[in-house]
Structure 1
Amino acid sequence: MTDLTSAPADDRSLRILSTGDLAGIDISLADVVETVEGAYRTLHAGQSDNPRKLTVKPADGHSVAYAMLGRDGSRDVVAIKTSYKHGLDKGRDEQHYYTSLTVYDDVTGLPVAMMDCSRIGSLRTPAVSALLARECAVPGARSALVIGTGTQGRLALPFLLTTLPDLDRLMLSGTHPEGIAAVREQLRSYFPDRAVEVVTDLRAAAGDADIIVATAGGHTPAAVEADWLKPGALSVLVGHGLAPSTLHRADRVIATSEAQMNVTGTDMADADGKLPAVDAEFPPVLAGVTTGRGSATERIFAYNSGLVVTDIALGHRFAQLALAQGLGTEVALWR
C-alpha cells in the first residue's frame, strides 16, 4: 500500500474527510477508470474479498439501508461502506441520503480515514458503466443515450467518452430542467467541444442508440422496451429507465455481480418473480477470461450494481490525495 504519511499516528485517532474536503480534490476521469478497473482485476485474481451486501428495508418501502464490507488485496486495506436513503416514497427534494466509507490499513492495523462516500459513488458508478461499454458495446459504437439527469446521469457521458472517444452522437432523456443543465455543464467541463442532444421521443432515441445507460430515479415514466432496441445494442441498467423485457429478451446478460443483481434487481423480475440467469459476471470479462460480446448483433443487457471493492479502491485513492494535501480533521474517536 502507498505510504500515507499524514494518516493517524495511533489507533485512537481517525481522520475524517468531509464532503467539502473531497469536493476540492482534483482527479481525472482516466484516473478514476484506472482505479476502478484495477479493483475489478484484483478481485478476479482472487486477491480481494467482496461479500454480498446486507440490506434492510421497512415493509412500506419508505427507506433502505445497506452495509458492505470488503478487502482490497492490492492496496492491503479493509473498509466498510454504509448507505441510508430515506423518503423513497417522496419526491427527490424531500429525500435524505447518507453514505460513508471507513478505511483501515491492513498492514499497520491503523485506521486510514472515514469519509463521505457520495462523491466516490458518483464517480465509481459511471466509470463502471463506461468500462462495461468499452468491453461489451458493438465494435465501432458511435451513439449513446443516457436516461436520467440525477447524480449518476450527470457524469455518464464524460465517462463514456473517456473509454469510447469515437462516440459522436450523445443523447439525453430527462425531464428536470436543472438536471439537464447540470448534464450539459458537466459534459462541457470535461469535453468543451462536445454537445448533448436532449431527446423527447424516447422510443426513437433508443432505436438509434448503440449504448443506453439508464440512471433515472424510481419515479421515472421512462421504460425502454426490448423491441425498441437495434441489433447489437448494449443496455446498461444503473437505476431505472429500462423495462424488464430488455433483460428477459436479451441475447446475453452481464452483471457486475449476479448475487447483488438477485438482491437489488427484483423490480426487473418477470410475472413469476424470477430473474434470468447471468451469462457472465463482469470481472472475468474485464480480465479477458470470459467473452463480453459474442457477435455484432447480440442485444446485451448489463446490470451495474456497485461492488464495494471499487468503492474501497477509489476511496483509498481519494484518501491518498486528501492526506497528501493535509485535508480532513483528526478526531480522537477512541479516547
Structure 2
Amino acid sequence: MGVLILTREQIKQVIDMRDVLEKVRDVYKLKSKGESVIWPLVNYEFEKENAAMDIRSGYVMGNEQLHGLKMLNNFPANTEKGLPPFNGLMMVYDSNTGMPIGIMDASYITCMRTGAAGAIGVDALARKDAKTLMILGAGKQAPFQIAATLILRPQINKVYIVDPVNYPQAIALANRIEQQLKEEFDVDASGVSFIAEEHAETAVREADAVITVTRATKPMIMNDWVKPGTHFSCLGSDMEGKEELDENIFIGARVYADDIAQCVRVGEMEIPIAKGTFRKEDIVGEIGDLLINDVKGRENDAQTTIFDATGLYILDLAAAKVAIANAKAANMGIEIDM
C-alpha cells in the first residue's frame, strides 16, 4: 500500500468545506459515543521568538478507522522573513492495519476543520433568528470561520470583523472577503455586509453570535458588552494562560466543550475555573453530546451559550481522509512505498 504525499495547494484544490462540515459533525458524534481516543496534547511556547508549537494526536473508530498525529508551528515573525507564519505536517494511518496512508501539509486542513468547528457551535447553539456574526481576530483563520458559518446559517446578513491588535488587517479582510468566499469556498455572500470595526465593544453589542480566534492572554470581550442571547464559539484558547472572554461571561451561561478534560486544562474555561468563577461540574456536556441529543442545548432566547473548542486531531483525521480520497480520484499528489 502506498503513502500519498500532498502539499497545501493540492489539498486546497481537492477539499470542500461542505464535506468537512459533515465529517466534523460526524466525528463529534463518534466521540460522544465512545468511538474515539484523544491522546495527550503537547505544546510549547518559544518565548524569544514569540512563537508556539503543538503536537496533537488521536484515534477515531466507526466508519473512519484512522489514527495519527500532527505538529503545528505558529511563528508570526516569519511574515517579515518572507516565510509562512503557520505551517505543519500530519501523518495518517489506517487503524485496521497500522499502515501509513498519508503524509501532508497540516495547515490548510487545520484551518478547514477549525472553521467547521466554530460554525457547528454557532449552528447548534445560536438563536435561530441570529443574523449578525462577529469574528474576533482577522488572521488566517477568520475566512474559514466566516465561510463555514455562512454555509450553515445562510440567513446571517452582517459580519463584524474585529482585530484589536491589527485594525488594518481587519479592513483588508473586510474588503476582500466576499471575493475570497466565492473563489475559495463557493459561497455567495453578495447579500452580506462585512464591516471592519475598530472597537470590539461596538461589535459585541450588536452581535448575535461571536467566534473568537486570537492568541489573547487577557480578555478582549467584557461581560458588560454582551446582550442577552449571545452565543460564543471560542477557538483561540488552546494553551495554558490564553483568555479571550471576561470570565464573568461564564456566570449563568450554558457551556459546552469539544473535550472536557482538554478544555479544563487549556481552554477558554481554564481561567474561570481556576478563579472559581465557573465550575467543571457546570459544563453541560460536550458538543457531540448535544449533537446526539444526550444533553439539551439552548433553553431560551435570553441565555448566553459558550462552545469552548480547543481543537481535536480526530477532526483533522476525518478531513484528511476526504482529501486523500479526492486527491486519488483526481490523480493528484505523489504516492510512494515506504
Fold shared per TM-score above 0.5: yes
**CA–CA distance in structure 1, aligned partners of residues 31 and 55 of structure 2:** 19
State the alpha-carbon separation in 1 of the partners of residues 272 and 49 from structure 2.
20
Q: How does 1:230-249 map to 2 (within 5 A)?
A: 230-239=227-236, 242-245=244-247, 247-249=249-251
Contact 1:187/1:194 (<8 A) preserved:
no
Could you say which residue in structure 1 is the equivalent of 2:52? 64
Q: Is the 8 A contact 1:79 1:103 kept in 2?
A: yes
Question: Hey, what does 1:210 align to over in structure 2?
Answer: 208
Deviation at 1:30, TM superposition (A): 2.0
Contact 2:263–2:269, Cα closer than 8 Å, also in 1: no
Tell me which protein shows more strand as a share of its residues.
2
In 1, Cα distance between equivalents of 2:7 and 2:276? 41
Match of 1:317 among 308, 316, 322: 322
Q: Deviations over 1:155-194 (max 9, x none)?
A: 2222112111222222222411443334333234411423
Superposed counterparts of 1:267-306, under 5 Å: 269-270=271-272, 276=278, 277=280, 278-306=283-311
Q: Aligned residue for 2:131? A: 142
C-alpha distance in 2 between matches for 1:108 and 1:280:
33
Q: Which residue of 2 aligns with 1:4?
A: none
Aligned residues: 318
Q: Offset at 1:209? A: 0.9
What's 1:53 paired with? Answer: 41
1:48–1:72: 8 Å Cα contact kept in structure 2?
yes
Paired residues for 1:5-154 under 5 Å:
8=2, 14-25=3-14, 27-57=15-45, 62-73=50-61, 74-86=63-75, 90=77, 93=80, 96-154=85-143
**Shift in CA distance, 272/35, structure 1 to aligned 2, threshold 3 Å:** closer
Query: Structure 1: which 5+ runs fail to align?
Result: 1-6, 9-13
Decide whether aligned partners of structure 1 residues 295 and 205 sit closer, same or farther in structure 2, where only a CA change above 3 A counts. Answer: same
Contact 1:254 1:292 (8 Å CA) reproduced? no
SS in structure 2 at match of 1:151: coil
Percent identity over paired residues: 19
- What's the Cα RMSD here? 2.8
Q: Deviations over 1:32-64 (max 9, x none)?
A: 111111111111122222223122345668333
Q: Quick one: which amino acid aligns to residue 243 of structure 1?
A: L
Where 2:245 maps in the other structure, the secondary structure is coil
Q: CA shift at 1:323, angstroms?
A: 1.6
What is the TM-score with the length of structure 2 in the denominator? 0.84
Shift in CA distance, 61/299, structure 1 to aligned 2, threshold 3 Å: farther
Structure 1 residue 122 displacement after superposition: 1.0
| Residue identity matched to 2:271 | A
Moved more, 291-300 or 91-100: 91-100
Shift of 1:98: 2.5
**Which amino acid is 1:183 matched to?**
I
TM-score w.r.t. length of structure 1: 0.84
Answer 1 or 2: which has greater helix percent: 2
Q: Which runs of 5+ in 2 are unaligned?
A: 238-242
Correspondence 1:180 to 2:174:
yes
Alpha-carbon distance, 1:304 to partner: 1.7
1:209 is aligned with what amino acid?
A
Distance across 1 between alignment mates of 2:331 and 2:319: 18
What secondary structure does 1:291 align onto? Answer: coil
